[in-house]
Each structure stands twice: as structure tokens, then as C-alpha cells.
Amino acid sequence: MKLQNYALGKWVAGDGDGQSLYNAITGEEVATASSKGLDFAEMMNYARKTGGPALRKMTFQERGLMLKKLAMHLSSQKEQFYKVSWATGATRADSWIDIEGGIGNLFTYASLRRQFPDETFCLDGDAAKLSKNGTFIGHHICVPKEGVAIHINAFNFPVWGMLEKIAVNLLAGVPAIVKPATITSFLTEAVVKEIDKSGILPAGALQLICGSANGILDHVISQDIVTFTGSASTGKLLKSHPRLLEEAVSFNMEADSLNCCVLGKDAVPGTAEFDIFIKEVQREITVKAGQKCTAVRRIIVPENLVEDVQIALGKRLAQTVIGDPQVEGVRMGALAGKAQLKEVAEKVMQLAKTQEIVFGDMEKFEVTGADKNKGAFISPILFLNKDPFKYQDVHNIEAFGPISTIMPYNTVAEAVELAKMGKGSLVCSIVTGDDKIAKEFVIGAACMHGRVLVLNADCAKESTGHGSPMPMLTHGGPGRAGGGEEMGGKRGVFHYLQRTAIQGSPTTLSNITNNYQYGGKYIEKDIHPFKRYFEELEVGETLITAKHTVSEADIVNFANVSGDNFYAHMDATSLDGTIFTGRVAHGYFVLSKAAGLFVDAKKGPVLLNYGLEDCRFVKPVYPGTTIGVRFTCKEKIVQEKKTPEDIAKGIVKWLVDIYDETGETVAIATILTMVKKKNQE
């Protein structure tokens, strides 16, 4: 079978015989892959000229719903992906991480749309007041870059590696060209074919290269984004490409790293934390046969517990059944191919020069349901390094398989130093029931790690584990780990957006951004805004309410209703040394009274109060103060209809500016209402 590339909206096989790809379990050829004949420059232009404009016309809400639809479709087809994944050497559990973990990223970023406006662009942060009277302000607007995201991925996660990246760039409005590692690209091809078949993504939003992509970086421009996942050595070569430097192209690198797991001194045998540690480390060694960029390579334990850890971990590793993942009881499959097996074996030999193998053997191990010599099988290998400060190969050489090293420490400071000797890691973890130990380690080690997991009995049951990057958190790390960031929720989306400072009057910036800026001109209507449907409301539309003079009776009555008898509200004799000159009204009374002033009581398009944001009480309100409200439509966000019977509606954000008789603001907040659409189709 010859794999096909997806280029310029068509499936095409590359010219020539191509590279042979093999079943990691049986050693049989499963496909060949070639990219010869592909015009990378044309593919990139197609993405920029066809995919980019189509995505940029969509709002964040529309792009998020597109991801949700795609995730649901791929979920319905996942069993076919599991069948293909077996040939990569993965068990069902391994494939679950890759396949359903990848689809889960799509779902997560689909939900992230709720943190963005119903616009093709978004704002970042708050407005900056640049003049004394507020007539000149600044803000940051973020628009999709008009290039293409080129994702160069590793072989270990052919599905997750693609989906976790395209989820982010597609939500941002940027098309992608995906280049999976050729050795496992047959699984990526199967998923992309299903994506294409669904017709969910616009033309040009996604293209696939199964063969070599050598030369693709020759055609990048400043608006493009390149991401790389793989070895540090390859990443450095790509990062220094002259075209990237010349065009100042954004380059994100996520490289394999020498991650560690630390056992706290308190976690002695017999404690829940000791058992958690042994289970976690064993899992990290054997999942995906150790082929994870986040796998535990260094096991850092108190010197007096080295023997206990070695025995307990050895017992668990001895129970790991290696073989064909389709055979019941098999818990660890094969490496992705013979080339990986050869490379790992070489690294094991290098590490064996300065440390001792205490579990496992490269030759003597059993394989269930398969021929050990035909597949890319390997035994878990556990090393012991008695002096990791002297013998430092363990901090520099990574065997990308089920290989890890136990090493001792005496103090938390030593554990921190050992963790940092990896010269930058994607993740480290510490298992301890002592939060003082946890704090000392986290603060000390954080500067050299992209993520730190603290495990104890309280969270272990629900923890996603040492090796699982989560979509809403940054995945990446400093130094050897590449110095980049992936995912990270909203933060990740901004990598694909151009942040631009804009300056002008509040009214002008309100009109540019469709987000009302404080101090902008009001749009006053003859009809109350609560009587207007979602489509009818305009950003900047403002209701100037009637006024109310606050009395002592208001304060007493609110205290009785709320139970808030704080001295500043109720005891005028206790105010010495405070900022108050008399009894002061409750902030929440002021806000509640404001609601009484701006709410229209009769039934109308407003369905409910949806929430409150950014509430501040900025000036004391004393009895005798007269307050009024400037109630302004700040932003509108459409909501999806989850069922045909669902009410068509949207969320409207209102700026509640409460002011006194001097015109000064005493409190300010943003409230959210759910408003019905006039058009219910």
C-alpha cells in the first residue's frame, strides 16, 4: 500500500518507490511513503490564499463549533483508528492516549471558544488610559496571522501530535500543513482521510505530507508559524534554518527531555505515597514502551530508600507482560520500529558504561503472542547510578524507550540540583505527603521545568499523571526541552495571533473592536434595552437611569436582609483609623440598588442574569449620596442551539457604571444577561 499525501485539496501518492514502513509487532511491510513530486511552495500558497481567508471569515464561536463537530465525528470513527494503531506497536491503553487524547484536545479547544468574543479577532488585556481626561486610550487587538502553521511531529503520537496542534491553530483562524514522522504516518493518514471525508473543515485548512518534507522551510514567510516535536538535535538544525532567521518566523520547539520523578523523604515504605510513587514510575516506564517525550528517565529517591525502591519497582516491572497488544494480558507492546530499537540499544550501551543495570536484559526476555526477532520488542531496563553527581551520562543521554535510572539524594536541595541537571525538562514530579517538602522542591526546580506535578494521597486517584500534558496547561519546557510552549488554553491560541497595540479615542476603539471602551460616546434609544432582542442591541447602546438617594434606612435594611453587619456599615463609633468618615453603604447594596434602577421588570427578551465580572467599589457611598447608573451594552456573544427545540439566544455583557451626584464613578461592574433572539430559526 502506498500512502497518500493530502495537498491542494487532493489525495496524491508521491513519485517513486518511497520509504518502506513496517508493522512494529510482526515486522511486515504495511505501506510505503513518498512526498516526491509535491510542490511545497504551492501547498503553502494554497493554505495562505484558500484556507486562511476561509478561516479568518469565521468568528471564534464558529471556529470553536467547527472543532466540536470535528471531534464528535472523529469520536464516532475511533475504532477504525485503534485497528490501525496496533501496527505502531501500541496497546489499547497506549492508543487511547494517542487517539482519544487527541480528540479530547479538539473538544477542549471547542469549549475554549467561550473565552473569546463572537468576532474574527479578540482583545488582549485591559484598555490603557493614555491621557489625563481619558479621551486618548490604547488597547491590544489580536488578529489571525495570514500564514500557515507547519507542524513537524514526532513518531510516538501520530494522532495526538497532530490534533493537539491543529486544534489551537484552527481556533485561532490559521490553516495547517502537518508533517508526521514517516514511520507511523499511516495512522495519521487514516485520521486525515476521515477529516477530509467529513467535509467539516474549509478547503485549504489542513494538508498532510506523509513522506519527507525536506525543503519546506525554504518557502516560509514572516506570517507563518513552524512547530517541531522531536529530538533536540533535529530541532536545533531546523531552528537555525536561514529562512526562519531571515523572515523572523515564529518557531516553537518541544524536544525530548530527561524528565524525573522524585520521592519525598517522608514517603517511606508502608505509606500511601510510596505505593503511589512505585505505581506511577512503573507506568511511566512502560506506557507506549517508554516512547513519550514526558516519560520518567531519572528516578530520584532518598539515599536510605534506594534499595526499597529498587526491589518494589523491580517486582512491578517483572509483572509487565510484553508482546502483541491484541493478546489478552499483554501490557507493553513494541517500539515503533527496528530503527528505534537499534537506537535505544545503542543508548543503553552508552549508559551502561557509567551505571549498573539492576533490572531487565536487552536479550533475555519473553514476548507473548509474537516473534521477538521480527518485532521491535524490548525489555524494560532499570539502571542504578550510585553517584549521579560524578557519573553524569544519565543527565545527558536519553534512551527513548522503557529505560530509567534510580539515583540517590540526601537533601531536598540535592534533589532539586539533580532535577535541574537534566538541563531543562518538559515535566518533573514529586511524590510526597509533606507540603513543606513539596514547596521547597517546586520553587527550587520550577525554573528548569515546563510542568511540575505534586502527587500525594489526596489527588492521586484523580490525577492525570506525570506523563499527561493537559490542553488547558502549557506543554513545553526550557533548555533541552526546546524553550517553547504548546497548548496552554487561551495562551496557546495567542501564539497564532498577531498582537497589535491600537490607540485612539474610546469611541473609535469601541467601533473598531465592537467592544465598548469606557469613556466612549453613548447611543441612547427611546426603548429600554431589556425590551430589545439580541440582534437589535448595539454595542454602545446606553440607558441613563433614574437616581436614588441612599439613606441610613437603606443600610440598616440591607444589613438585616443580607446578614452583613460589618462595623463600617453599622457602628459609626468604630471608624477611627479607617478611611471612612461615617457609616458607609454596603458595596453590594449599591450594586443591588443599581440593578433596581436599570432592570425593566416586565417580561421581555431578557431570559436571565448570567453572571457578574470585574466588579469594583471605587468610592465610599454615604447616607445622602445620590446614585445613578450608566448602563451600556459592552459586548455580544451568540450561543449555539444545542437542540432544534432550544431557544436561539446570546450573551450580552453590560457595563454598569454607578456614579454619584458629582458625576464620579462609585462602583463599576460588568454583568451578563442571556437574551433571546428575535429570529428563532
Q: Determine the Cα–Cα distance for residues 334 and 326; give it in Å rounded to an integer.
A: 12
Of the candidates 248, 277, 246, the one whose C-alpha atom is nearest the C-alpha of residue 261 is 277
Single-letter amino acid, residue 436: K
Beta strands 626-638 and 649-659 are antiparallel
How far, in Å, are 199, 381, 441 from residue 276 at the CA level?
45, 20, 18
Question: What own/partner pairs with CB < 8 Å and gap ≥ 24 does 417-420 have?
Answer: 417/389, 418/260, 418/298, 418/300, 418/388, 418/389, 419/260, 419/262, 419/298, 419/300, 419/445, 419/448, 419/449, 420/445, 420/447, 420/448
Catalytic residue among 142, 293, 428, 633: 293
Length of the chain: 681
Of the candidates 18, 2, 30, the one whose C-alpha atom is nearest the C-alpha of residue 86 is 30
Q: Determine the Cα–Cα distance for residues 97 and 464; give it in Å rounded to an integer.
A: 11
DSSP class of residue 323?
Answer: B
Q: Determine the Cα–Cα distance for residues 209 and 33; give it in Å rounded to an integer.
A: 9
254 catalytic? Reply is: yes
Catalytic residue among 254, 284, 398, 635: 254
Beta-carbon contacts of 390 under 8 Å, excluding residues fewer than 6 positions away, are: none
Which set of grid coordinates corresponds to residue 74?
472523529
Q: Determine the Cα–Cα distance for residues 330 and 289; give it in Å rounded to an integer.
A: 12
676 bridge partner residues: 649
Q: Determine the Cα–Cα distance for residues 277 and 396; give it in Å rounded to an integer.
A: 24
What DSSP string runs through 353-389?
TTSEEEE--SS----BSS-TTTTT----EEEE-S-TT
Residue located via cell numbers 507511523: 184
Tell me the angle at which helices 60-76 and 160-172 cross, rounded to the nearest 10 degrees: 160
Neighbours of 350 (CB within 10 A): 13
Find the helix or strand (DSSP H, E) in which 198 lies.
helix 185-198
79 catalytic? Reply is: no
Of the candidates 92, 113, 154, the one whose C-alpha atom is nearest the C-alpha of residue 426 is 154
Q: Determine the Cα–Cα distance for residues 143 and 497; give it in Å rounded to an integer.
A: 5
Q: Is 315 helix (H, G, I), strand (E, B) or coil?
A: helix
| 201-213 as b/e: b if 16+ CB within 10 A | bbebbbbbbbbbb
Q: Determine the Cα–Cα distance for residues 621 and 612; give it in Å rounded to an integer.
A: 21
Beta strands 4-7 and 10-13 are antiparallel
Beta-carbon contacts of 479 under 8 Å, excluding residues fewer than 6 positions away, are: 423, 424, 425, 448
Measured in degrees and rounded to the nearest 5, phi and psi for residue 236 equal -65, -40
Find the helix or strand (DSSP H, E) in which 149 lies.
strand 149-152
Q: Determine the Cα–Cα distance for residues 145 and 55; give it in Å rounded to an integer.
A: 11
- Is residue 67 within 8 A of residue 106, CB to CB? The reply is yes
Find the helix or strand (DSSP H, E) in which 36 lies.
none
Q: Determine the Cα–Cα distance for residues 254 and 98; give it in Å rounded to an integer.
A: 17
Burial zone of 571 (CB within 10 Å; 0-12 exposed, 13-18 middle, 19+ buried): exposed
Q: Determine the Cα–Cα distance for residues 530 and 425; give it in Å rounded to an integer.
A: 54
Find the helix or strand (DSSP H, E) in which 477 lies.
strand 474-477
Q: Determine the Cα–Cα distance for residues 216 and 205; give it in Å rounded to an integer.
A: 17
Of the candidates 71, 76, 95, 94, the one whose C-alpha atom is nearest the C-alpha of residue 84 is 95
Query: What residues act catalytically?
Result: 254, 293
